[in-house]
């Protein structure tokens, strides 16, 4: 299995604190030694850092823990391989362009009987169930909508319907973003919380790092973080149910 | 204008030496302050590091100068913006998937009357002439070939024909790769050289770094480097002519 990290915010926000906790699980406090990746959006543009090496000893991960890239949407992933070899083409997140936007996807879980999924216009480069599921979802989106639906909930319901199809094939926890919207779907394990004023302190589960968000934010900031397992000890994480989805925009759920 | 860097090799090779020379031109020995990017292929997988900040003061660029990522195909770019704002979505290289391969593109030059170009299945995310030209080329490739042509020269001639169309609209020096093939096209300025046994020494134009390739290589290594301007003082760079193309595979030109 793998672990997921997502962030949606109403102002460009750095994710060094949460990222640091996740990276520790990549071979140090957790068993996810088979690569890691993280995508940051800045406006419509995005950049992905990825490495098939364990994150706990990656020089690139070390740089990013100290290098505050400010972003309104982030997807991160650490991998414990089950389908597909440990190499760069199988390292999440995966990216494709649709409707003139960069879409980024990461998956936690394992599918069976997935090779027959229709991928349409998007072909996998590697050989994971995850990238195939991503191509399936994007292919369905492209076939159904000539351009992005105006209402994010329309897209969320459409994605949830197809995620329900994928859930029939195994465990399918996932994150998908175009830098504006952030869609999360849970079949087994996914948690989220929204940080907003009044901000308090939080302490990472995986290291001694404690942060006082009131020192790092302005009163109008709103940030939602999604993670496979809660990253902090002292905050009220919401556990998602099987088949539950969450669509975020500007740091808050839309429904 | 911008500067391009490309590499094709028959064994995974690091590009720290050439990259270091290029990065100096990003605001120190050259005026290309409007961002930089570099894509490395490892097998079919690729990863791109990019930054809208000048390369000469980028922490990510500093890391990569010291961090030998071994690759058989690399495209790098430093930008001096003329079309499109200085931001991440306009930062080269650009990437899209076609035929189950990641294609990466970077451009040096400036086009006019380019907005009417047919882009077909690939839509630009940013607003540069470069990304639009890339989408045009990929759209033509997808329309013409259901899968990659078996003979690289077939693809090279097809690409050169469409690059000739783009050249009518301005300056169009470009690099395109899928990690196996590396295509270069010149309208004004592009140089290349092949390093193979017996290997000698080379000295960067832009800094004091001298390298003895005989210490870094095995006798069967073959590496071709392409750059807008020669990166070393003491090697016989080939200058490309207007309308000339070069298709590389495993470090050597195919024809």
Tell me the range of B30-39, B104-113, B208-217 where mean pLDDT is highest.
B104-113
CATH of the domain at A196: 3.60.20.10
Average confidence (pLDDT) over B131-146: 97
Contact between A36 and A101 under an 8 Å Cβ cutoff? The reply is: no
Cβ distance A46 to B88 less than 8 Å, yes or no, reads yes
Q: How many separate helices (H) and strands (E) can be counted in chain B?
A: 4, 15
Nearest by CB to residue A100, choosing from B63, B95, B123, is B123
Answer whether B109 touches A (CB < 8 Å).
no
pLDDT (0 to 100) of residue A81: 79
- For A100, which of B50, B67, B124 is closest by C-beta distance? B124
Within an 8 Å CB–CB cutoff, is residue A104 touching chain B? Answer: no
> Of the candidates A50, A60, A125, which has its C-beta nearest B102's C-beta?
A125
d(CA B34, CA A70): 18
What residues of B are labeled active site? 2
- Are B31 and B229 within 8 A, CB to CB? no
Asked if the Cβ–Cβ distance from A50 to B47 is below 8 Å, we say yes
Cα B41–A42–A235 angle (5° rounding)?
105
Q: What is the mean pLDDT of residues B80-98?
A: 92
Cross-chain Cβ contact B47/A45 below 8 Å: no
Phi, psi for residue A146 in degrees, rounded to 5: -70, -30
Which of A43, A88, A124 has its CB closest to that of B42? A88
User: CA nearest A147 in B: which residue?
Assistant: B123
Residues of B in contact with A96 (CB under 8 A): 96-97
Contact at CB, A100 and B91, closer than 8 angstroms: no
What is the C-alpha separation between B26 and B41, in angstroms, rounded?
Answer: 23
Give me the count of residues in chain B: 255
Print the domain residue range for A246.
3-254
Taking CA–CA distances from A86, the nearest residue in chain B reads: B45
Calpha distance A91→A94 (Å, rounded): 8
Give me the pLDDT at residue B34, please.
87
Give A120 or A36, the one with higher predicted confidence.
A36
What was the pLDDT predicted at B31? 80
Give Cα separations from A47 to A69, A127, A179, B88, B131 (angstroms): 10, 22, 11, 8, 16
How far apart, in whole angstroms, are the C-alpha atoms of residue B177 and residue B101? 10
Q: Which of B7-11, B211-215, B249-253 has the lowest average pLDDT?
A: B211-215
Q: Quick check: B45 and A95 CB within 8 A?
A: no
CA distance A187 to A168: 10
Per-residue CA distances from A18 to A71, A76, A224, B102 (Å): 13, 10, 11, 30
Q: Name the closest residue on chain A to residue B93, using Cα atoms.
A: A47
Chain-chain contact of B91 with A44 (C-beta, under 8 angstroms): no
Q: Which of residues 28-87 of B touch A (CB under 8 A)?
A: 42-52, 59-60, 63, 67, 87
Model confidence at B248: pLDDT above 90 = yes
Catalytic residues of A: 2
| pLDDT value, residue B32 | 81
Residue B44: closest CA among A4, A129, A128: A128
Decide if pLDDT at A150 tops 80. yes
**Number of domain units in chain B:** 1
Question: For residue A78, what pLDDT is reported?
Answer: 92
Please tell me which residue of chain B has the smallest CA distance to A71.
B88
Does A119 touch chain B if contact means CB atoms closer than 8 Å? Answer: no
Proportion of chain B above pLDDT 90, given as a percent: 74
pLDDT over 70 at A14, yes or no:
yes
Determine, for residues B95 and A91 on separate chains, whether the beta-carbon distance falls below 8 Å.
no
HEC string of A209-251 equals: CEEEHHHCCCCCCEEEEEECCCCECCCCCEECCCCCEEEEECC
Q: Supply the mean pLDDT for chain B.
A: 93
**Contact residues, chain A, for B34 at CB < 8 Å:** none
Partners of B60 on chain A (C-beta within 8 Å) are 63, 67
The pLDDT assigned to B1 comes to 67
Q: What's the pLDDT at A179?
A: 98
């Amino acid at each position: 299995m793998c672990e997921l990290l997502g962030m949606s915010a109403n102002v460009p926000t750095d994710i060094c604190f949460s990222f640091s906790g996740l990276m520790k699980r990549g071979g140090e406090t957790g068993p996810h030694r088979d690569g890691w990746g993280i995508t940051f959006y800045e406006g419509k543009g995005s950049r992905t850092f990825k490495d098939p090496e364990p994150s706990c000893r990656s020089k690139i991960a070390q740089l990013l823990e100290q290098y505050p890239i400010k972003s309104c949407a982030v997807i991160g992933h650490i991998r414990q391989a089950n389908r597909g070899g440990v190499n760069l083409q199988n390292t999440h997140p995966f990216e494709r362009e649709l409707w003139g936007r960069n879409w980024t996807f990461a998956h936690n879980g394992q599918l069976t009987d997935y090779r027959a999924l229709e991928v349409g216009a998007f072909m996998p480069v590697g050989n994971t169930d995850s990238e195939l599921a991503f191509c399936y979802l994007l292919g369905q989106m492209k076939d159904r909508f000539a351009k992005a639906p105006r209402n994010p909930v329309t897209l969320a319901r459409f994605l949830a319907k197809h995620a329900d199809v994928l859930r029939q094939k195994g465990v399918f926890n996932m994150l998908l973003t175009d830098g504006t919207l952030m869609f999360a779907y849970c079949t087994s394990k996914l948690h989220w919380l929204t940080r907003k004023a009044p901000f308090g302190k939080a302490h990472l589960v995986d290291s001694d790092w404690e942060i006082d968000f009131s020192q790092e934010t302005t009163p109008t900031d709103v940030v939602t973080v999604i993670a496979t397992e809660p990253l902090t000890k002292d905050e009220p994480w919401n556990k998602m149910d099987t088949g539950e989805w969450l669509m975020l925009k500007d740091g808050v759920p839309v429904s």
